[in-house]
Amino acid sequence: MDFASYAIDLVAVLLLALGMKGLAKVRTARSANGLAALAMGLAVVGLLLQLQPGPTAWLWIAAGTAAGGIAGLITAQRVPMTAMPETVALFNGCGGMASLLVALGVALFQNEQADLVARISIVISVFVGAITFSGSIVAMAKLQGWLDTPDWTQSSLRHGLNISLAVACLAAGLALPADPAGWPLWGLVLASTLLGIGVTLPIGGADMPVVISLLNSYSGVAAAAAGFVVGSQLLIVAGAMVGAAGLILTQVMCTAMNRSLVSVLFGGALGAKAGGSVGGGGDEAGYTRIVSCSPEECAMALESAERVVFVPGYGLAVAQAQHALRELAKLLEANGAEVTYAIHPVAGRMPGHMNVLLAEADVPYEQLVEMDTINPEFPRTDVVIVLGANDVVNPDAKTDPSSPLYGMPVLEVDQARQVFVVKRSLGAGYAGIANALFELPQTAMVFGDAKAVLQQLCTELRSQGVGTKTPVAA
């Protein structure tokens, strides 16, 4: 039976590696996700063959599997793209809680059989799992708008509180291997849970992409530790891969925002006063040179444009305008224009948010161009349309040393010949500062809901015959 479980684990590890490799591309992501799910299913089968649970345990396993499967199916069908960051945060929390419960189960009911490695793994799994769960729930609540950032968390009081909780976790963790089922276990659970809340609560909405990546890494570390607890090779491998990938992504997010991980976790909360939201909000800045235009005027510029770049932001997701954007792009392509989409690493509310949003509208993956690749192309671009993005296109990040964004890599849309910014208002982005792009001579504001504006553009272009005539060959 041990040979069968090890063989199944080996196959599962190979399938998981193939699945994670396939997730790197949009075309293969769906099938790759299926492979990864199959790998995890095989891992469960292998573990059950190894443990050989009794009839009562089988009933609990079947009930849990059914409940989890139904919950996952309902979630996948009902959660809109705008709520995907919250869903990812919740899934991270579920992963942390699962690892925590596995460690608790072994500590409470099998502590006599646990060796030193398993007991140390229990400490890590409980500590990281509890932090991941509570931190993810707080992140989800802040993203959903259910929870604001309390004023006291922006003072030095929070540092003293978090340090005290960390010391309590250390003391309980050191005592836990000697007494796996005693007071240190529950002390570690409580202190770690509170520490997760204490660390995540002060973090502002602007830093949420970093927080989600970091929590994803935490869930992987907790899973790997749980793998040592129960002796699952796949859980160890999968947890290590997720933990490492999450850390790499966290560093990428920090670089893209010109923020260090230390400043995110322990510094001032960027965007904290916006109620934890990302991608918009705040009072309108005192602009003096704003030029606005109608969708009809914007359509006239698009009709003659040879190269058009769309810059999607969270406003596009809020308006659920990705399908209208794809429709507009098709009209422009039929008119002979070259269309691309400029993707900033932290556009939206989680890593890859815009990629997923546009993929839902069947935007060709080749048209999604990363920041470093698209920036040199802006000087030869006829029209740029910014849809709900704000700070990631602010030229002050390059030119104004006094700006909070200075040094942050941004999309250099100010180099284009004509820029149209589609926004509901002149409200500030998550950094809470004015956007110098709005007052440049080549920039015009198109005020309104992104979906409504894009639909008006499509209607106006069709009235001009765009999309109904054969494009002239170059």
State how far the Cα of 56 lies from the Cα of 43, in Å rounded to an integer. Answer: 21
In the chain, the amino acid numbered 471 is P
- Cα 102 to chain centroid distance, Å, stands at 26
Can you tell me which residue has the tokens 């604001």? 148
- Asked if 391 is an active-site residue, the reply is yes
State how far the Cα of 186 lies from the Cα of 172, in Å rounded to an integer. Answer: 9
> Using an 8 Å Cβ cutoff, are 269 and 149 in contact?
yes
Over the Cα atoms of the chain, what is R_g?
A: 25
What is the SS3 string spanning the chain? CHHHHHHHHHHHHHHHHHHHHHCCCHHHHHHHHHHHHHHHHHHHHHHHHHHCCCHHHHHHHHHHHHHHHHHHHHHHHHCCHHHHHHHHHHHHHHHHHHHHHHHHHHHHHCCCCCCHHHHHHHHHHHHHHHHHHHHHHHHHHHHHCCCCCCHHHHCCHHHHHHHHHHHHHHHHHHHCCCCCCCHHHHHHHHHHHHHHHHHHCCCCHHHHHHHHHHHHHHHHHHHHHHHHHHCCHHHHHHHHHHHHHHHHHHHHHHHHHCCCHHHHHHCCCCCHHHCCCCCCCCCECCCCCCCECCHHHHHHHHHCCCEEEEEECHHHHHCCCHHHHHHHHHHHHHCCCEEEEEECCCCCCCCCHHHHHHHHCCCCHHHEEEHHHHHHHHHHCCEEEEECCCHHHCCHHHHCCCCCCCCCCCCCHHHCCEEEEEECCCECCCCCCCCHHHHCCCEEEEECCHHHHHHHHHHHHHHCCCCCCCCCCC
In the chain, the amino acid numbered 392 is V
Point out which residues pair with 308 in neighbouring strands. Answer: 339, 383
Q: Select which of 148, 283, 362, 391 is catalytic.
A: 391
Active-site annotation, residues = 391
